[in-house]
Chains A and B, each alone.
Chain A
Amino acid sequence: MTQTAIRPVIETRNLSKTYDSTGVPVHALNGVDLVIEEGEFTAIVGPSGSGKTTLLNIIGGLDNASSGSAHVADQEITGMKESQLIDFRLHNIGFVFQAYNLIPVLTAKENVEFIMLMQKRSKSEREERSSALLSAVGLQDQANKRPLQMSGGQQQRVAVARALASRPRFVLADEPTANLDSHSTSNLLDIMARLNKEENMTFVFSTHDQRVIDRARRVITLEDGRIVSDERK
């Protein structure tokens, strides 16, 4: 019997970030060493100012580290140029944001297709995958509705479908349930857990929400820019 090696999707070494915009240095991250492997369902938690968002920004290619390294989706992203980072994000990371952040003038289906259009996927592939993803999040009958015609929970499910449309290596979800009621939260977490299980999609959440923490299989706690606990369930 052979055992398939599990690849790390995210690996940071001594990752630090210092902000100095006001002249007083603020150390948002202090030497974070972190490995997240393919297929994990991980919540990053911690109080406000603990460095969750900064960590997500750096591993998401939205910000640069002050020192240390971030090896993400088989690429060293520290030191990448902005244009390289944009391309890197487009092909490797799916984003889910707290405020859904869908394009309001596009329908649910068009929002999902939009990412694939930027990846220059064919029309047939775009149509097929957007339909499949909207079905996967239970919104096949809402495909032609615009975001403002949908509830917050539905919009966030479209955001999940959009995040997966680019066939990313992992999904970064920043407080994805912060604006949702308990029913929508439960529904969304069910969908993400299923996608994680069935498609081995890696999910990394930044959250304060206990309902998310309860469903996560790994919980990393940050305080003052350091990892203070890393629990696997």
Chain B
Amino acid sequence: MMLIQIAWRNVWRNKGRSFVVMMAMIVGIVSTIFLMAFSWGMYEYRIDEAIQKESSHLQVHHEKFKEAFEPKYTIADHQQLASKLRSDKRVESVSERVVTMGMAQSSRSSLGVRIIGVDPAQEDATTHLSESLTQGEYFTGTKAVPVVVGEKFAEKLKLGLKKKPVLQFQNIHGEIVPVKVKIVGLYKTNNSLFDQMNLFIPRDKLQELLGLGNEVNEMAILLHDSKDVEAVKADVEGETTALVETWKEATPELALAIDSFDKSMAVLVAIIFLAVAFGIINTMLMAVLERVREIGMLMAVGMNKARVFTMFMLETIFLSLAGAPIGIGLGWALVAWTNKVGINLSMYGEGLSQMGFSNMVYPSLPTEQYVILTIEILVIVLISSLVPARRSLKLNPATAIRKI
């Protein structure tokens, strides 16, 4: 008990120095929490956006489809599978699609594109495509083959509403099929690359042009709750021989980007923690060196090494943890405030939209991340406390007592 008392009082022996360490701890923790919350908020939005507007929670393809995106690899018994899925309470909607790769040409330019044949109602229920429309209408008002394109696509090919680009692609017999389509709607998501690449036309038209009959080669499944992804995937795998992928598997570039961002954040957090840990170690080593005579006296009068070690460990822990709750509290408050008002990153808008991110970031951090962070802080403080405590044990009481 007296060791605790001594350690606690020692923390306040040099108030200025203790204050600096506490501030370092607070700034370190607040920065860490904010960085984590910023990236969490950014990715939470991006993932949500990717699921809601691009990939959905699950995708089903013929197992060979993705090798060369050949439309002939269709999903067997897709209607039966879709029907079963629609009766599953965990499933919000299913979009049965026909997908092929092709070229889009205007009078001025051409572009490689992904042509997606959709049932407008199914697609809207799954990717809310109509909500992303900025101009025109959703597959209505034309006798020609209607197409909904991204604003970025229109910008690249210098096209606008009612313009008629030509799409070219191979049908399942390997013949090149050209088709003139009419732009009836322009959409815009936060992912400019997606907008540039993906064109939506009625599924029955594309089936006809490809020679696919009623077959489809992609099913996008939107769930009510992301937590059910693995369970539904397992159930679907039990129903079909086709390849079932989660959003992470279907969009590896997104998973890779998240992973890379997570890793760079982890490195940044590690650097902050390391700086804080070195600050603590440095301060406590100074404390040990300043108190050589005192430590010598304690050892001389009979304080054993375990007690000396414990005393310095406690002192380091007290010093460090005095700032930790304040840091966590301030970090939480900062995250709550920025979550409410948002952070406007429009000056980096172009770069962010190419990666599919929104200009507005709403930092957020789940409670379990605060718990993990607290445990990490405790571990770092414990490790930091070992160095000065160990240094104190190396002193020889006979010489330490006489140290000036």
Contacts and interface: CB of A to CB of B under 8 A. Distances in A.
A83 interface: yes
B327 to A, nearest CB: 26
A101 interface: yes
B303 interface: yes
Contacts of B303: 86, 90, 118
A89 interface: yes
A227 B297 CA distance: 28
Contacts of B302: 86-87, 89-91, 115, 118-119, 166
Nearest to B297: A101
Interface stretch (B5-13, B109-117, B382-390): B5-13
Of listed B5, B302, B303, B307, residue having the most chain A CB within 10 A: B302
Interface of B: 2, 5-6, 9-10, 13, 293-294, 296-305, 307, 397-398, 401-402
A28 B361 CA distance: 74
Given A62-B401, A89-B300, A97-B297, 7 more contacts: A60-B300, A62-B397, A86-B303, A90-B301, A104-B13, A106-B5, A115-B301
A80 interface: no
A170 interface: no
Contacts of B305: 83, 86
Query: Secondary structure at chain B's binding surface: helix, strand, loop or mixed?
Result: helix
B291 to A, nearest CB: 9
B345 to A, nearest CB: 50
A105 interface: yes
B397 A114 contact: no
A105 B301 contact: no
Contact of B293 (A83, A99, A119): A99
A83 B304 contact: yes
Contacts of B5: 106, 110
Nearest to A54: B398
Contacts of A86: 299, 302-305
Contacts of B2: 106, 110, 113-114, 117
A184 interface: no
Interface of A: 53, 57, 60, 62-63, 83, 86-87, 89-91, 95, 97-99, 101, 103-106, 110, 113-115, 117-119, 162, 166, 174
Contacts of A60: 300
A60 B300 CA distance: 9
Contacts of A53: 402
B301 A62 contact: no
B301 to A, nearest CB: 6
A100 to B, nearest CB: 9
Contacts of A166: 301-302
Contact of B294 (A89, A104, A110): A104
Contact of B398 (A57, A103, A105, A114): A57
Of listed B5, B13, B301, B401, residue having the most chain A CB within 10 A: B301
Contacts of B6: 103, 105-106
Contact of B301 (A95, A99, A110): A95
Nearest to A106: B6
A89 B301 contact: yes
Contacts of B294: 101, 103-104
A110 B2 CA distance: 9
Contacts of A162: 301
Nearest to B291: A104
Nearest to A64: B398
Contacts of A113: 2
A194 to B, nearest CB: 23
Contacts of B13: 104-105
Of listed A57, A60, A117, A166, residue having the most chain B CB within 10 A: A57
A33 B401 CA distance: 26
A62 B398 contact: yes
A174 B265 CA distance: 58
A90 B297 CA distance: 12
20 contacts: A62-B300, A62-B397, A63-B398, A83-B305, A86-B299, A87-B302, A89-B300, A90-B303, A95-B301, A101-B293, A101-B294, A104-B13, A105-B6, A105-B10, A105-B13, A106-B2, A106-B6, A106-B9, A114-B2, A117-B2
Contacts of B301: 89-90, 95, 115, 118, 162, 166
Closest 3 A/B residue pairs (Cβ): A90-B302, A105-B9, A101-B297
B307 A118 contact: yes
A149 to B, nearest CB: 14
Contacts of A104: 13, 294
